[in-house]
Amino acid sequence: METKTYPSASLRSFSEAVFRHFGVPDGDAAVAADVLARADLRGIDSHGVARLHSYFDMLSLGRINPRPRVRIVRETPSTATVDGDNGLGLVVGPQANAIAMDKAQAAGSGWVSVCNTNHFGIAGYYCLQALERDLIGWAMTNSTKLVAPLWGAERMLGTNPIAIAFPARTEPPVVIDLATCAAAYGKIEIARRKGEPIPEGWAVDRDGRPTTDPQAMIDGGALLPLGSDRERSGHKGYALAAMVDVLCCVLSGANWGPFAPPFALRQEVPARSVGRGIGHFFGALRIDGFIEPDEFKRQMDEWIRTFRATRPAPGTSGPLIPGDPERRAEEERRAGGIPLLPAVIEDLRDISRRARIPFD
Amino acid sequence: METKTYPSASLRSFSEAVFRHFGVPDGDAAVAADVLARADLRGIDSHGVARLHSYFDMLSLGRINPRPRVRIVRETPSTATVDGDNGLGLVVGPQANAIAMDKAQAAGSGWVSVCNTNHFGIAGYYCLQALERDLIGWAMTNSTKLVAPLWGAERMLGTNPIAIAFPARTEPPVVIDLATCAAAYGKIEIARRKGEPIPEGWAVDRDGRPTTDPQAMIDGGALLPLGSDRERSGHKGYALAAMVDVLCCVLSGANWGPFAPPFALRQEVPARSVGRGIGHFFGALRIDGFIEPDEFKRQMDEWIRTFRATRPAPGTSGPLIPGDPERRAEEERRAGGIPLLPAVIEDLRDISRRARIPFD
């Protein structure tokens, strides 16, 4: 599809102005815009400015608090629960993650479960923040239901990502950021638009039957967990999504499982609420709480080189290191800009008209 | 296949006597036997007394230290690295896990990376220990290489399990324990014995080509990571296995990736060593470091009931809760005993003859 390319800095400024338009304080607006910009830079197009219109809608409707008072409701030296006061996840997330990192600096590790928050962008962003402080960082979040548990016929869990990053010395860091489902919802939408079938193992229809018809998934069907079916261990993807759900939501008092509130206007509102907002979970580990950081990084360099040198499977150039594709995208896009689809550009123009913020 | 059933207590006593035979101290021998017995009770036959002969071999050859001095080599209030002094993983694991739990009690959370250790049995055992202290427990370990990274043509990672358990109030706990590969090696062996093909997505042959021939995997092929291929996100299973590898080994100074030492005599010895022994990683979180434990458990009850009530996919009775199959096995086997295959019984008889410890 025809795309048009924009400098990352322009998109970031536009997002920042949009957040400020709703009364988000300057510092918070800059951080929120940075989280979105980083997703676009890293090639995760579904989580960048393509989502700005959803944030715009939620702020317009007053469903998100533009000036949250983020506070710790309970803590120990290495743990805390944070109430996000229904703020933007893009604002609450970085603050909660900073609490986890501060605790790690003081007590060796820090673990923060967050309730009363909203979508926080790419999980990997938070781990990259930890790398800047020479910490191992973890991030997880729940999200609106889309995924069926193995042997289920309905959406019960979000795509519940797990991210973790490890620094190296001369090699780039290992950055893991994965949704716990077999395929991203965005891929289903792309197949539908192209009129193509989807592979087996991605989805079930509204009756819980395996389907290769993208429309059947969209019309009340569900994504399958990582592993897809029983034979290939779909119960494991389901268990990982459950783990994320409990750490982010049950531990913090947020809405778990099918009760996660909707993010986009088109999504249905759950029958009831079992907590406040959605939930995140952040972790940070101080490397020198375990080993000399130099020794750790030297071994990570060797780990990376060893895995890069794996004998390649036929027709491939061999295994990648987690984070490779995103880092390459970032190098390209920092130089060449962010390609946007016409529908995304139209969304941004719509925001521009309605909020009277120039975009072009 | 014809099995013969033994009371769990008899098998446990036999294992205990075998460990004591090699000079393992009484308390340690009891714990080690308990870890194996728990695997058999929970239906994880590959990790119970079926492995006793491998432990026997390693102890006979002096490759495992029967009387390790397990020590903390570095620590902060919530983290530690433990050197297992080349002891049995079944002895080092419980001690290191106890350090993680003690730290959690004092600082809210505890995280222990362990080097210079050996195979520790089922990862779930350690999480069950945490439940007894009303903690959320995590356990991971690396193991001898068996799994290819996505797009790799050779074994580079172990089956690297992740386990975590959450307590509930009136419902049984959620106990997650999963290897990060698409299918267990044991299933490949069973298919070979039966002369049956294996499903697509489980394995590649020695050239890295997808195979449905179990013998082709065994003869220098490799298991595939959870997710199997690129289309179904095999890169995610690989990334999770990598995460386990780094937390268990690079962080502690153990042998990571393809350098993990062999557990059974038939396994090849790696070309070189990059650390000491294999590695584990234990974590414990104090629930009241986040939320009132009663409230947490009440929500867990509701979580479990909600997921159990998921509309079932056709031909199934609906989703299980992680830990269900193992708990049911444990109920049955506590009452009815442990069914052992003839080959396992023969192994135990061989130990009995060689160590002059009665078995039958």
Q: What is the pLDDT of residues B278-299, one digit of tens each?
A: 999 999 999 999 999 999 999 9
B353 found inside a domain: yes
**Mean pLDDT for all residues in chain B:** 97
Mark yes or no for CB contact B312/A208 under 8 Å. Answer: yes
At residue B122, φ and ψ (nearest 5 deg) are: -85, 135
Are the C-beta atoms of residues A250 and A256 closer than 8 Å to each other? yes
Q: Are residues B61 and B72 in the same domain?
A: no
How far, in Å, CA of A38 to CA of A48, rounded? 7
Q: Tell me the β-bridge partners of B163.
A: B139, B177
**Cβ atoms within 10 Å of A330's Cβ, excluding its own:** 17
- Write the residue in A76, A316, A322 that is nearest to B289 by C-beta: A76
Q: Do A152 and B74 touch (CB under 8 A)?
A: no
What pLDDT, on the 0 to 100 scale, is given for residue B266?
77
| Nearest-5° Cα angle at A233, A140 to A280 | 10
| Three-class DSSP category at B305 | helix
Of A274, A153, A139, A114, the closest CA to residue B300 belongs to A274
Mean pLDDT of B12-31: 98
Strands (E), A224-277: none
Distance CA B300, CA B142 (A): 30
DSSP classification of residue B295: H
Q: Is A318 left (phi over 0), alpha (psi -120 to 50) or beta?
A: left
For strands B71-76 and A79-83, give the pairing: unpaired
A314–B228 CB contact, under 8 Å: no
User: Which helix (H) or strand (E) covers residue B301, if one does?
Assistant: helix B293-308
Give the one of A183, A285, A287 whose C-beta lies nearest to B233's C-beta: A183
Q: In this structure, are B15 and B91 located in the same domain?
A: no
Shared domain check, B259 and B175: yes
Confidence band (pLDDT; 50, 70, 90) for B1? low
Query: DSSP characters for A24-71?
Result: --HHHHHHHHHHHHHHHHTT-GGGTGGGHHHHHHHHHTT-SBSS---E
Q: Do A107 and B252 touch (CB under 8 A)?
A: no
Q: Rounded to a whole number, what is the distance in Å from the CA of A112 to chain B's nearest CA?
A: 8
Distances (CA, A) of B31 to A45, B48, B118, B198, B278: 51, 13, 15, 37, 20
Answer yes or no: do B300 and A250 touch at CB < 8 A. yes
**What residues of chain A lie within 8 A of the CB of B199, using their CB?**
231-232
Q: State residue A267's pLDDT score.
A: 78
Q: What is the pLDDT of residue A2?
A: 87
CATH number at residue B280: 3.30.1370.60
Question: Splitting chain A (360 residues) into consecutive groups of 10 residues, what average pLDDT does each group show?
Answer: 93 98 98 98 95 96 97 98 98 98 98 98 98 98 98 98 98 98 94 95 98 97 98 98 98 98 83 95 98 98 98 98 98 97 96 95
Nearest to B108 among A78, A136, A202 (CB): A78
Query: Does A252 reside within a domain?
Result: yes
Instruction: Describe chain A by its helix, strand, coil percentages, rounded to 5.
Output: 45, 20, 40
Is B242 among the domain residues?
Answer: yes
CA distance A269 to chain B (A): 17
Which pLDDT belongs to residue B252? Answer: 98
pTM higher than 0.90 = yes
Parent domain of A209: 183-223
What ipTM was reported for this prediction?
A: 0.98
pLDDT of residue A271: 84
Chosen for mutation from A72, A74, A83, A109 (greatest number of chain B CBs closer than 10 Å) is A109
Nearest by Cα to B175 from B140, B131, B225: B131
Please name every residue paired with A112 in a beta bridge, in sequence order, or none if there are none: A80, A282
| A302 vs B contacts (CB less than 8 Å) | 274
List of chain A residues whose C-beta atoms are within 8 Å of the C-beta of residue B305: none
CA distance B49 to B3: 14
pLDDT > 70: what percent of chain B? Answer: 100
Phi and psi at A288, nearest 5°, equal -75, 0
Per-residue pLDDT of B149-181, as tens digits, reads 999 999 999 999 999 999 999 999 999 999 999
Q: Is residue B328 in a domain?
A: no
Alpha-carbon distance B10 to B315, whole Å?
39
- The answer to whether residues A203 and A285 belong to one domain is no
Min Cα distance A340 → chain B (Å) is 24
Smallest Cα distance from B57 to chain A, Å: 30
- The pLDDT tens digits for B309-359 are 999 999 999 999 999 999 999 999 999 999 999 999 999 999 999 999 999
**CA A194, CA A185: separation in Å to the nearest integer?**
15
CATH of the domain at A194: 3.30.60.50
Measured distance CA(B168)–CA(A281) in Å, rounded: 20
Q: Which residues are CB-contacts of A116 (< 8 A; sequence separation ≥ 6)?
A: A83, A84, A85, A86, A253, A254, A276, A277
Out of A227, A232, A291, name the one closest to residue B252 (CB): A291
Nearest to A225 by CA among A170, A279, A179: A179
Gap between the Cα atoms of A52 and B281, Å rounded: 39
The alpha carbon of residue B347 and the mean position of all alpha carbons in its chain are separated, in whole angstroms, by: 21
Residue B320 lies in a domain: no
Clarify whether residues A134 and A55 are in a common domain: yes
- Residue B321 belongs to a domain: no
DSSP one-letter string for A126-195 = HHHHHHHTTEEEEEEE--S--BPPTTBSS--B----EEEEE--SSSPPEEEEE-SBSS-HHHHHHHHHHT
Domain count, chain B: 3
Query: Which pLDDT does position A1 carry in this prediction?
Result: 67
Of B195, B223, B251, the residue at which a domain comes to its end is B223
- B284: phi > 0 → left, psi -120 to 50 → alpha, else beta; which? beta
A320 contact residues in B (CB cutoff 8 A): 150-151, 235
Q: Which chain B residues touch A207 with a CB distance below 8 Å?
A: 314
Same-domain pairing of A88 and A195: no
| Cβ-nearest to A150 among B76, B164, B319 | B319
Residue B47: which pLDDT band, with cuts at 50, 70 and 90? very high
Nearest to A81 among B176, B253, B290 (CB): B290
Using a CB-CB cut-off of 8 Å, the residues of chain B touching A199 are 231-232
Q: A128: distance to nearest CA of chain B, Å?
A: 16
Q: Are B296 and A251 inside 8 Å of each other by CB?
A: yes
Same domain, A286 and A275: yes
CA distance A355 to chain B (A): 40
Note whether A123 and A94 are within 8 A (CB).
Answer: no
B210 to chain A: nearest residue by CA? A313
User: Do A210 and A70 lie in a common domain?
Assistant: no
Q: Tell me if A156 sits within 8 A of A257, measured CB to CB.
A: yes
pLDDT at A151: 98
Distance CA A265, CA A28 (A): 24
Phi, psi of A73 (to 5 degrees): -100, -15
Q: How far is A183 from chain B (nearest CA, A)?
A: 6
Could you say which of A136, A251, A313 has the minimum Cβ distance to residue B153? A313
For residues A256 and A208, membership in a common domain is answered with no
User: Are B210 and B111 contained in the same domain?
Assistant: no
Query: Are B75 and B49 part of one and the same domain?
Result: no
- Same domain for B86 and B169, yes or no, is yes
Q: Which residues of B touch A245 (CB under 8 A)?
A: 303
- Which of B212, B310, B320, B321 is most worth mutating to test chain A (most A CB atoms within 10 A of its CB)? B310
Residues in chain B: 360
**A304: in domain:** no
A305 within domain boundaries:
no
Mean pLDDT of the B237-248 span: 98
Which residues pair with residue A114 across a beta bridge? Answer: A82, A280
**Separation in Å, CA of A354 to nearest CA in chain B:** 40
DSSP A320: P
